[in-house]
Structure 1
Amino acid sequence: MTREQKVAKKELARRVRETTAGRFFGFVLESIEPGSAVMKLRVRPHHLQVYEVVHGGVIAALADTAGGLATYMSTPRGTRVATVEMKINFLEAVEKGTVRATAHVLRRGRNLAVVDCDVRDAKRLVAKALMTFAIGSGQRLPEQTRENKSRSAAHAGKKNAAIEKIDKSRL
């Protein structure tokens, strides 16, 4: 891994931790290389649906995040990527434990990338996703200016309070 890729890895891990979705779901970037990423999620009560298994949308969001990061790492640093299509098969129900999404870029062109993702618990393949990501042409992620940081921090504070309230109500 090059020095620039190491810097990008740290930046991505921080961004995952700081996004509202990343905090709410509890996504953790476990490993990342050019064209691949592994995300993990420790199952919590607020991930469960009415039948007390992890909601499919949570698993899909985990796969989508891993796929987006794998795609991002296959492009010049700062290039925007966005999901344009996702197909997922849910193969097994997950009640507890940790799930990992392992995403690999199958093919990357100038404008699109096709990504495969396996989601597993400790013993089983629980979901399989195939995604297509658009690759921005020279668009870069917004820089973290002082103004953006303070606005993000204020927004994060409100969201954290809401997330904590949900967590407490689910216990």
Structure 2
Amino acid sequence: MELKLTGADLTTYLAEVFPQIDGQFVIESLDPGGVRMRMRVQEQHLRPGGTVSGPSMFGLADVTVYALVLGHLGREALAVTTNASFDFMRKPEGGRDLIAEGRLLKLGRSLAVGDVLIYSEGGAAPVARSTMTYSIPPKR
């Protein structure tokens, strides 16, 4: 599969269509096989006890697969999540950024499926795993 957007192009595009998340997520690498995304963990991402909240980890997984889909499709803001499966496997390390490693399992005409492993920065074992399906709008 060939990429239609570079990591820099995708960063610019995400800032245009989702300005509310600008600066929270960083695309560290993007290639046809996958993406590596960093979530800059801030106070707003923490839950009582100092760990990263589940909704924050879900958001990272969702943005990671969205980046993969857009990297292959180009500027297609209307691609949307239609299914998500999420496994929380261990507590993230408090005060550390989260790293998501995503890979595209399928890119069809109407659906894309991606898999994501999330790690605490510097950690060897994943803290969460997600599989997400995106609906791709029909060509007009």
Structure 1 and Structure 2 fold alike (TM over 0.5): yes
Aligned-residue CA RMSD in angstroms? 2.3
Where 1:125 maps in the other structure, the secondary structure is: coil
Aligned: 1:74 with 2:72: yes
Relative contact order: is structure 1 or structure 2 higher (C-alpha 8 Å, sep ≥ 6)? 2
Letter in 2 for 1:131: M
The residue number in structure 2 matching 1:157 is none
The residue number in structure 2 matching 1:51 is 49
In terms of Rg, which structure is larger? 1
Q: How far is the alpha carbon of 1:10 from its aligned partner? A: 2.2
Where 1:69 maps in the other structure, the secondary structure is: helix
Pairwise mapping of residues 1-171 of structure 1 onto structure 2 (< 5 A)?
5-6=5-6, 9-17=7-15, 19-23=18-22, 26-34=24-32, 36-75=34-73, 77-79=74-76, 80-94=78-92, 95-121=94-120, 122-123=122-123, 124-138=125-139
| TM-score, scaled relative to structure 1 | 0.70
Letter in 1 for 2:103: H
Query: Aligned pair count?
Result: 135
| TM-score, scaled relative to structure 2 | 0.83
More helix by share: 1
Where 1:43 maps in the other structure, the secondary structure is: coil
**Is the contact between residue 35 and residue 74 of structure 1 (CA under 8 Å) also seen in structure 2?**
no
Q: How far is the alpha carbon of 1:93 from its aligned partner? A: 1.4
Change (3 A) 1:113 1:42: same
Identity level (%): 25
Q: Deviations over 1:57-107 (max 9, x none)?
A: 0011011001011112222x2234211111111111121212111111111
> Which 5+ residue runs of structure 1 have no aligned equivalent?
140-171
Change (3 A) 1:111 1:41: same
What is the rounded CA distance, in whole Å, between the counterparts of 1:50 and 1:90 in structure 2?
Answer: 17
Q: Deviations over 1:29-54 (max 9, x none)?
A: 11112352221012222210122211
**Is the contact between residue 114 and residue 130 of structure 1 (CA under 8 Å) also seen in structure 2?**
yes
What is the rounded CA distance, in whole Å, between the counterparts of 1:97 and 1:28 in structure 2?
Answer: 14
